[in-house]
A and B are shown apart, each in its own frame.
Chain A
């Protein structure tokens, strides 16, 4: 399977702490994207990092991409209770076909 896989499957932290989630994939990609899904809701796009980029920031989010290791990480700094959600990485192999992992369930305790 070309599916990206997130690690850990679940993460529980206290408000104010940083949360790091990882994603590994198997073949060359055009880009890698991170999405968030609140319980019972649709997916919300967070950030896209292209294969020729190594790091990208957006607000409290920091994404890194290591194509040699075929891995990416999503860091959420100074987490808030509202960050509680499932986070998915999606790998783009063929210009349109996103392949999603099973997600990391992040719980931020107030």
Chain B
């Protein structure tokens, strides 16, 4: 299995631009998670999907952030408009079920200038 796939691996954009991060979970996994990692705050859960349905989005920072999972093999995290403080590494993870091991993708390093 290819593992969790994220794209792009690096994204540099200017403040105000829209950014879309993509994730392909491991085939057969029912749960998908988006995390953000910064030096200051560590690793934070942004949103959790189960069977393509958003279950907990309490970690989404503000309305500028949105996430979708149109099918079991694809999810997006969108930031519109982006701000410099959004600069971080964004990880997607998937698991077989809600209590199972989470497998992380390689992350997308986002830099907002």
Contact = CB atoms under 8 A, between A and B. Distances in A.
B42 A44 contact: no
A55 B13 CA distance: 47
Interface residues of B, number: 23
Contacts of B34: none
A40 to B, nearest CB: 8
A33 B101 contact: yes
B104 A44 contact: yes
B25 interface: no
Interface size class of A (residues with CB under 8 A): 20 to 34
A48 B50 CA distance: 21
A78 interface: no
Interface string B1-29: 00010000000000000000000000000
Interface of B: 4, 31, 33, 42-45, 48, 50, 55-56, 91, 93, 95, 98-99, 101-107
